[in-house]
Chains A and B, each alone.
Chain A
Amino acid sequence: MSDKTTPSNNSFLNDAGNRALIFQIVLLAMVVFAGYYLFSNLQSNLDNRGISTGFSFFNEPAGFPILIHLIEYTEANTYGRAFFVALINTFVISLLGIVLATIIGVIMGLARLSKNWLVARLATVYIETLRNIPLLLQMFFWYFAVLAALPAPRDSYEFADFLLNKRGIYSPNPIAQDGFGLVIFGFILSIVASIGLVIWAKKRQTKTGLWFPAYWSSLGVIVGVTLLFLAVSGFPIEFDLPQKSRFNVTGGMVLPPEFVAVLVALSTYTGAFIAEIVRAGILSVNWGQTEAARSLGLRDNLTQRLIVLPQALRVIIPPLTSQYLNLAKNSSLGAAIAYPELVAVVMGTTLNQTGQAIETIGLCMLVYGSLSLSISVFMNWYNSKMSLIER
């Protein structure tokens, strides 16, 4: 019998570590080869069929109009610029959707836990209905229901200088005049001041236990200071008012029904899922925590805010992240009802005008991939910040 600590056969291949390494290398080589094979095959097939490739089309004029553009854009701009217009539209709808869905979700989640029978039942009906109807159907519903309910432009509803009709919500468009820089300066100044105020209030509370309503007062500071600067500089704003013309309303700012329909559909749909996550999170906090807080003399809303919610958040954040990811990806359904987001503009119109299927689809995959990863990274950071710190 040989000694157990010395291997009987110490050849290179019999070492577990070496073997693992070899398997890893073989696997990697296979993956790289498969990727290379697919890519070169694609190249030769594209060449054989005379399909042109490359991203040079990005510098050519697009020639098509886009309904909603937050940066300057006309038909004479390039496909590249059209891509950025679409990208911004996707970002805007995703971010607004996430914010609204969170608000709706928290309210509905709390409502479902309410002791008020009617409120709890209504929240249940909302959650169960919206979670169980396909999102695309809901988008069509909101779009066509909104269109059917509203009047034609010439019979617009009017409130003050606002107009509402089938073409959207029109509001006065503020245009900055000379001296508006001063107002912006005042606004920034007030934000800096209120940040200082919040930090001071926190420090004082840690030191003395005295509480100061920092958030409300900073809101007051921001509004007050900005108004003050507005008054001092003589209100350097003029309004471009919407006016009815032959076909449409001209002038002013417009919120088109496509935007509203996509936003409402995305946020109410995802809001229903978030409501359930919030409810689960709150129920996961042991009842003893609430009883302990009460016995310390905390009021109900302080119990919720300081004891229950921070503990519930640890349960809520991971599933919440996947809802945010879903929402960002679901925004691509907006293409079906004319919201000009990434899929509509790049994988739709651009693909069709240029025929560059692989490039445009690859680009869209890249964008959605990075959008989702950024949301994930942010939420993971937030999660680690909120998670239990063991001392």
Chain B
Amino acid sequence: MKSNVCKLLSTAAIAATISTGAAAATLDDVKSKGFIQCGVSNGVPGFSNADDKGNWSGIDVDACRAVASAIFGDGQKVKFTPLSAKERFTALQSGEIDILARNTTWTYTRDSSLGLDFTAVNFYDGQGFMVRKDLGVTSALDLDGATVCTEQGTTTELNMADFFRKNKLSYVPVVVQKADEALSAYDQGRCDVYTTDKSGLAAHRTKLADPAAHVILPETISKEPLGPVVRHGDNQWKDIVTWSMFVQVNAEEMDISSKNVAKVKSETNDPGIKRLLGVEGDMGSQLGLPADWAYNIIANVGNYGEVFERNVGPSTPVDLPRGLNALWTEAGGIMYAPPVR
């Protein structure tokens, strides 16, 4: 019930906002309040998850920390609002949060009709299926007649329906309001299959009673480019969030990391790197940011490769391969960013 009340309030908030125009400068608001309000998930390990002391970490959390570093030079100036899948867009529309970084898929409808803008992709994902090993299923095409658990209010629900219809398979959907309850219904045996984005499957598998007893099927049934979202109409703010992401990808490409960025800054002769790190020219002022904005992002958050390794890489419990998210210069990677110049 609480979420409904929240939504009602935020709807009322949209209704009651004095109409000063949608293009109110988010950057000015953020600067005057001194922090960024960042909408994240209720807990998806590797993407946005709070530890027992309330410290948030994850790829999406780092997206917000990068923006905070660019503006304030301090990645800690972020406050987090945990949101369920169905609450997230209303929270952004109503101005409750400044950035929505909650493993949100970039789709046509969301971009065109919700009054939102997608900024960049910080994780290329695709929907998959997880089943118990002892069922002996090796392909999603074997799932005829299965019961499928999933979280409500995501692209997952529609992809699942399309997949089963396309392949003429029957199934029973169990759609639960929150991911945690959907997962425990699956864990308890209400469903044969749990479906969400593959990164989410890997993350959620770590929460199951016996992670080793479950297997993720090889099929990827959809394209799920995930990334931070902002309100439609504030182009400056959108550019800041977009380029905070691009800087991280460019930094990895140039072999600049949080460890060597200080050294590179003082020693480099490369004009491209000098521009990026604010040694030459003043790239930041074009966005209303300090000259060392990119330097601060790299120093505080690191390049994209570091962010990936730290949150979801093979050394973490989520243990995802780079795959599509490797740089475009690597085999199989499509992570590419326009140049900073």
Contacts and interface: CB of A to CB of B under 8 A. Distances in A.
A233 interface: no
B165 A75 contact: yes
A389 interface: no
B161 A64 contact: yes
Contacts of A332: 1, 4
A45 B14 contact: yes
B4 A48 contact: no
Interface in B10-68: 11, 14-19, 21-22
Given A49-B115, A247-B147, A361-B7, A41 B189 contact: no
Given A46-B14, A361-B8, A336 B177 contact: yes
Given A44-B19, A45-B17, A248 B11 contact: no
B145 A45 contact: no
A48 B189 contact: no
Which secondary structure dominates where chain B touches chain A?
A: mixed
Interface string A343-370: 1100111011111011001000000000
Contacts of B113: 50-52, 354-355
A63 B178 CA distance: 20
A248 B146 contact: yes
B310 interface: no
A361 B3 CA distance: 12
B175 A67 contact: yes
A45 B110 CA distance: 18
A351 B89 CA distance: 10
Nearest to B22: A48
Nearest to A356: B113
Contacts, number: 159
A347 B7 contact: yes
Interface in B134-176: 135, 143-147, 152-154, 157-158, 160-162, 165, 171-176
A215 interface: no
Contacts of B90: 357
A152 B186 CA distance: 12
A335 interface: yes
A71 B176 CA distance: 21
B15 to A, nearest CB: 4
Interface in A172-214: none
A336 B15 CA distance: 28
B185 A147 contact: yes
Given A45-B15, A66-B173, A336-B178, A147 B189 contact: yes
A147 B188 contact: yes
Interface in A314-354: 332-333, 335-338, 340, 343-344, 347-349, 351-354
Interface string B163-204: 001000001111111100110110011101000000000000
A247 B11 CA distance: 43
B83 to A, nearest CB: 12
B232 interface: yes
Nearest to B15: A42
A63 B14 CA distance: 29
B11 A357 contact: yes
A67 B172 contact: yes
B100 to A, nearest CB: 13
5 contacts: A46-B115, A65-B161, A246-B145, A349-B175, A352-B152
Given A67-B175, A348-B153, A357-B93, 17 more contacts: A41-B16, A46-B115, A48-B22, A49-B231, A51-B93, A51-B113, A76-B165, A147-B185, A166-B188, A167-B190, A247-B143, A257-B190, A352-B85, A352-B153, A354-B113, A355-B109, A361-B7
| 3 closest A-B pairs by CB | A49-B115, A352-B153, A48-B22
